[in-house]
Structure 1
Amino acid sequence: MSLKERSFEKWENDWIRLRWGDGAPLLRMDFDVCGAVRAATIHATALGVFELRLNGDSVDDIHLPPGWTDYRKRVYVHSFDVSDRIVPGKNVLGALVAPGWFAGFFGPFGDRGYYGHDAWFSCELVLEYEDGTFETIRTSPEWKGALGPISQADLLMGETYDSRKEISGWDTPDFDGSKWKPVSVLREGDERLPESIEPYPGEPIRTIAELPAQSVSEPSPGVFVFDLGQNMVGVARLKIDVPAGTEIVLRHGEMLNDDGSVYTENLRSAKAIDRYIASGGEEIWQPRFTFHGFRYVQVEGLPAGCDPALDTICGVVWMSGLKETASFECSSEKVNRLFSNIQWGFRGNYLDVPTDCPQRDERLGWTGDTQMFIRSATYLADVQSFFKKWLVDLHDAQHPDGGYPDVAPFMGRLGYASAAWADAGIICPYVLWQAYGDTEFIRPWWSQMKNFMALICTDENRHNGPNAQSFGDWLHFNSETPTRLIGLAYRAYDARLMSEMAAAIGEENDRIFFEAEAEKSRDLFRCEFFQGSEIAVKTQTACALAIAMDLLDGEDLEKTKDCLFQGLEEHNVYLTTGFVGTGYLCPALTKAGRCDLAVQLLLNEGHPSWLYEVNNGATTIWERWNSWTEEGGFGDVGMNSFNHYAFGAVCEWMFESLAGIRPASPGFQTLEIVPCFTDRLDYVKASYDSVQGRISNQWKKTSSGWTMELETPVPATVILPNGTSQVEKGRHIFEVPA
């Protein structure tokens, strides 16, 4: 076993912190190396977040390790190979530690220190010498600490940095730290200690891009607003040359007020303010222990008469370091902008956990948003390790009665077993298995998934019982769908997915059971959806769920299709769906044989629609269809994010129907290519880097119909209006008459 593969079942290292002070204190330990080192590995973690230093430099380029978990149950360790960084003689191991999710503000309830009130750091450096002996440098009472330049470090509130208080060389061997203060140690058995310490299974947060400011304005004297041109998540890097003691204030926002200042009312209690106190001369700084969702940065405090250069501000984009796997382009530049908006919403909200929004005082791992978007996410990037980590968070938060939570990692005051939210426990493993062909997304959780199904398949339950309580079709547009109906739809859908997964993992008895349960649940849905022979619930969402989830047959299905078509026509082919219905609407229309209506929804530019947002300057997906309107301005300030990916779930349809790329078997071992040809677009082309290799498909309009070019690494069934073809891997061209 290599040093980096070490088991952490027995963690013998102390948890340390400075005895006083907020912000991010400095911690250090001198040690001597007396022989030739073959290998050196640091294993580090925190109740909070940390940055690790060795001999004057940062050990790695990741941000906010060890990530967010339910710290009472588990905390993760990050391992770093530092073999080439150890020098003969004296060395220094150092760290900065900040509150992060453990002890800082997070969530919509004004909570601070939900898991604990102070940040703690713990690590070990394991040295393997050439003679085969080992030495371990651990966190212990021998470490020393001091207050540094970071006096505030909070994920929601921001970071304050006084560069006059920098301690030069504090993490280098030549520094004399003898007068630093002793650290405090968390005693064994303390209730703040986690039950389990494990290797980090996910993708750490990294810088994925830098966005130079596109313009700067001065809405009022001495107040400068920098526009990055793109709503993003991360931090702003500041470059200044001002007198010592000058305090620069950075305010972050996604939109502008009418007077040109940065709009921050929708952030609620999250201040999202960074402060920098200059030491004089040219200085460059970016925060370490906070992040913001923003397009605009408002800079205040520059000396009178200062005319800041455009490079005063640069956006530094953070995201879990996922390999992006998708491209999409068509003849409509507005649709291309929509795809870009979906990508940026995904990037901004896949930051260690799949959050609902990255800017206000929430940023929670809402399970409903996650399951609604996950199929789109599997096209946009390789999310395997990201979700292996989050599925642990999800099951750590599962209620003893089997109910999956509204958010994961766990946070109190929120519920369990909410229809369309709790179903993430079934849908996410299924979608991941379909995307990557790996049943290890299912096997570890099978018994817990069955516990959830046992709960929701009872007569009386919160999910779909007579008194069902959930968020319903959240943020629908004046078209409410009963929560019980939504719950019954998901109950039947979950049971069908469970039967398929049971077959995949060889659980034959479970396959038979859930196949029968799926039929029983379909009957329950039909009884709720219909009154006799008439449809009782005629919302777009209800009809879309019935069609997309295969909940009806025969005449019932045909009536439901007609109901959906009529419902759209009553609204001039505009949607009324919320979080639950929107992702299913275009797939349901395509399945019902009306791809033309799905295309119309995509291309609509009035309100409400995706392109209405594009036309009004959106660079990410909005939380509400009316987050901003020409008539009413900003929407409900109590809940109005301009970076919320749920409505971006149309991305799934753009790949699987408009471009026609969809798996015919788990892991894209075979394909089904069924493109949605339309004369509303001149061309569509898309590619996806699947686990089998790159799949690309493009079609373009011709004088007589369409030409389609497919590149596939696996056999594919190609279904076109003029017939079906079976093709092997390689390049294939098809001529399709109009």
Structure 2
Amino acid sequence: MFKVTELRCEYQHNPIGIGERCPRISWRLDSDERAVSQTAYEIEVSNLPNFSEPYWTSGKVASSQSVHVELKELDKKSCKRYNYRVRLWNQDGELSEWSDIAYWETGKLEGEQWAGKWISAPLSLLPTDSPHLPLLRKSFRLNSSVRQARIYATALGLYELELNGQRVGDRYFTPGWTSYEHTIQTQTYDVTDMLRTEQNAIGAWLGNGWYKGQLGWQEKGAIYGDRLALLLELHITYTDGSEELITTDSSWQSAKGPIVMSEIYHGETYDARLEFEDFSTPDYMSRDWHGVESLEH
């Protein structure tokens, strides 16, 4: 008796936001007998968890490989869930049952277009030489119960998100330091349980980070750019199957936040007198906030 267990995609169990166009699948062969080995495998992928309509199959592949099996032939799209399962043949030609079903979700794949726009606080509010950091926010309304919701986000500079007064995710220094002229990393967040029927609000903190902050021995700043910006899409699927998209656009608002200076190597100055308490909650009144400007990048 043998079976397939411990399915992984890119080292992770049921990951979301995978950016690889050819993700790698791994698994483990478990048996209550000795000297059982894999001689062939089959991987099946479906858009549906019951596999009533298989999307792709590898067919029987004669191979003992069970780590980092690359799915090169599978046509993948951004922001989609792919369910997968594996079965094996042993050295005696016996076939295992299908493994338990696992999945991965793609993030924004390389080269995919974003529906959202890069948005920044207007220069009239925060000139490029200002050390002050902005806050961004948007209120929106949902008219039905939510089955699934994902945020795809990145920034020029650093960002942290809040949704209905709660911090989104547990990462820091996102989106990370890259060669911004060529690559900007994105993150994916499961926010299904953070949304409410009717009124909602999302807020963002922006920081200089490596993008605009001071780097190098000469403490030179704005090496990659001089304006902080946010790019975000909130993909919502309702229980009736309909979908809605909330993006960064001209409807967002901006304000000078309580962080009046922030640098990777010089620390941060926080002025609590300038706090906008609960600015990412639906009941917050933002009459004194400003608009935003769209940037080309």
**Take 1:37 and 1:12, find their aligned partners in 2: how far apart are those partners?**
21
* Aligned 8 A contact 2:163 2:203 in 1: yes
Distance 1:44 1:7, change over 3 A: closer
- Checking the alignment, whether the CA contact within 8 Å between 1:23 and 1:98 is kept in structure 2 is no
Give unmatched runs, 5+ long, in structure 2: 1-79, 82-103
1:366-397 CA deviation, whole Å, 9 max, x = no partner? xxxxxxxxxxxxxxxxxxxxxxxxxxxxxxxx
* Higher strand fraction (1 or 2): 2
Give ranges in structure 1 of 5+ residues lacking alignment: 188-192, 194-738
1:214-243 Cα offsets, whole Å, 9 max, x none, are xxxxxxxxxxxxxxxxxxxxxxxxxxxxxx
Match of 2:173 in 1: 64
Matched, 1:6 2:115: no
Deviation at 1:119, TM superposition (A): 1.2
> Which residue matches 1:107?
216
Given residue 5 of structure 1, which amino acid in structure 2 is its aligned partner? T
Aligned length: 188
Give the distance between the partners of 1:58 and 1:153, measured in 2 at CA: 20
Match of 1:165 in 2: 274
Question: For the residues of structure 2 that align with 1:24 and 1:34, how far apart are their CA atoms?
Answer: 34
TM (normalized to structure 1)?
Answer: 0.25
- Asked if residue 18 in structure 1 is aligned to residue 121 in structure 2, the reply is yes
Q: Contact (CA 8 Å) 1:148, 1:167: kept in 2 or not? A: yes
- CA offset digits 1:479-528 (Å, max 9, x no partner): xxxxxxxxxxxxxxxxxxxxxxxxxxxxxxxxxxxxxxxxxxxxxxxxxx
Letter of the 1:157 partner, please give it: H
Higher-RCO chain (CA-CA 8 Å, sequence separation at least 6)? 2
Secondary structure of 1:102's match? helix
Alignment of 1:386-405 (within 5 A): none
The whole-number CA distance in structure 2 between the counterparts of 1:101 and 1:23 is 16
Cα offsets for 1:311-363 (capped at 9, x unmatched): xxxxxxxxxxxxxxxxxxxxxxxxxxxxxxxxxxxxxxxxxxxxxxxxxxxxx
Q: Percent identity?
A: 36
Q: CA separation in 2, counterparts of 1:65 and 1:7? A: 15
Residue number in structure 2 paired with 1:31? 140
Contact 1:4 1:41 in 2 (8 A): no
In structure 2, give the amino acid aligned to 1:91.
Answer: N
Partner of 2:194: helix, strand, or coil? Answer: coil
Instruction: State how far apart, in whole Å, the 2-side matches of 1:154 and 1:109 are.
Output: 14
Question: Residue 84 of structure 1 aligns to a residue in which SS?
Answer: helix
What does residue 229 of structure 2 align with?
120
Matching residue of 2:193? 84
**Structure 1 segment 531-610 matched on structure 2, within 5 A:** none
**Aligned position for 2:294:** 185
TM-score with structure 2 length normalisation?
A: 0.61
TM superposition shift of 1:55: 0.3
CA distance in structure 2 between the partners assigned to 1:132 and 1:102 by the alignment = 39
Per the TM alignment, residue 180 of structure 1 is displaced from its structure 2 partner at its CA by 0.9
Give me the whole-angstrom Cα distance separating, in 1, the residues matched to 2:181 and 2:132: 23
The counterpart of 1:43, out of the listed 146, 152, 157, is 152
Which residue identity is paired with 1:130?
A: T
Q: Is residue 196 of structure 2 the alignment partner of residue 93 of structure 1?
A: no
Cα distance in 2 for residues equivalent to 1:160 and 1:49: 16
Contact 1:45 1:77 in 2 (8 A): yes
Give the Cα–Cα distance (whole angstroms) in 2 for the partners of residues 112 and 24 of structure 1. Answer: 15
Distance 1:31 1:92 in 2: 6
> Deviation of residue 109 (structure 1)?
3.0
Whether the 8 Å CA contact 1:4–1:80 is kept in 2: the answer is no
Where 1:76 maps in the other structure, the secondary structure is coil
Q: CA deviation at 1:108?
A: 1.9
Q: Per the alignment, in what secondary structure is the counterpart of residue 74 of structure 1?
A: coil
1:617-640 CA deviation, whole Å, 9 max, x = no partner? xxxxxxxxxxxxxxxxxxxxxxxx
Q: Aligned equivalents of 2:174 and 2:149: distance in 1? A: 20
CA–CA separation in structure 2 for the residues paired with 1:99 and 1:4: 30
Give the Cα–Cα distance (whole angstroms) in 2 for the partners of residues 10 and 26 of structure 1: 25
Instruction: Tell me if structure 2 keeps the 8 A contact 1:4–1:81.
Output: no
* Structure 1 equivalent of residue 248 of structure 2: 139
Cα distance in 1 between the residues matched to 2:170 and 2:177: 18
Maintained 8 Å contact 1:103/1:116: yes
Deviation at 1:88, TM superposition (A): 0.6
Preserved contact between residue 4 and residue 79 of structure 1 (Cα < 8 Å): no
Displacement after TM superposition at 1:24 (Å)? 2.5
Q: Distance in 1 between matches of 2:185 and 2:176?
A: 7
Larger radius of gyration: 1
Cα distance in structure 2, aligned partners of 1:180 and 1:139: 16
More helix by share: 1
